[in-house]
Amino acid sequence: MSDVVKVWDDGPVRIVQINRPEKGNAISADVAVGIQNAMLDFDADDALRCAVITGAGPKAFSVGADVTQLPELWRCIPTVGYRPKKPVIAAVEGWCTGGALVVAMMADLCVTGRSGKFYYPEAKIGLTGGMIAALPGRIPHKIAMELILLCRVVGADRAAQVGLVNEVVDDGKALETAIAWGKEMAGFAPMVMGTLKQVITEEILPRGPSEIWALHGQRLSAIKDGEDAKEGSAAFREKRPPVFKNR
């Protein structure tokens, strides 16, 4: 695992921490891939029952995409770059900006310290990945448009009032609280939680165009990079029937 993403387990809880405090935990290409890999590993491990995404230090969960090392942001987004049936919690301290706000809104649960600030400035910058379009499906429409169009900063208390976060805790306590939630849920029935989560995230919550594009892109990439594609090309060159193996 890259040193820009720190990963450890606390009992049944996987913690994935963006470890670039000197850069405001900006999401670089390496960070996005590191989060995705840690989450795919989490999904495959039956002993792990919940994951927490957080940022190092008190100043920022993350200031968003690193414009000097632009990531494929979809890789680190819950329900897009990884789709575990197990709960994913965002633990926010300080600024949660741009693409990091997308991470928080797509997590199943979110806890923030009192100094948490949620901000989506892309309209001021002239650049967006588009996944923020799913925000009105998760909080009231007018509040979502205030964040997106007016680029207003939403503080922790208001974020809780409008349903962007579940709970506001003392600064420095967000990760501790998220881990406690994860350990609590570890005692619940995984099949029930997994089924309900899957129904909600895949059949009830709306998906924006960029989210849909990312999901379809992954499916098409899996075909393009798969063994059957190589076999098909080889069979065409060798003028023989292909032997496909569904992988």
pLDDT tens digits, the chain, 247 residues: what are they? 579 999 999 999 999 999 999 999 999 999 999 999 999 999 999 999 999 999 999 999 999 999 899 999 999 999 999 999 999 999 999 999 999 999 999 999 999 999 999 999 999 999 888 899 999 999 999 999 999 999 999 999 999 999 999 999 999 999 999 999 999 999 999 999 999 999 999 999 988 877 887 777 777 777 888 999 898 899 989 999 999 999 8
Tell me which fold the domain 5-188 belongs to: 2-enoyl-CoA Hydratase; Chain A, domain 1 (3.90.226)
The Cα 153–Cα 161 span in angstroms is: 14
Domain chopping of the chain, boundaries? 5-188
Query: Which pTM value belongs to this model?
Result: 0.89
Sheet order of strands, 5-10 included: 5-10, 13-18, 50-55, 88-92, 109-113, 167-169
Two structure tokens written together for 71: 């990531």
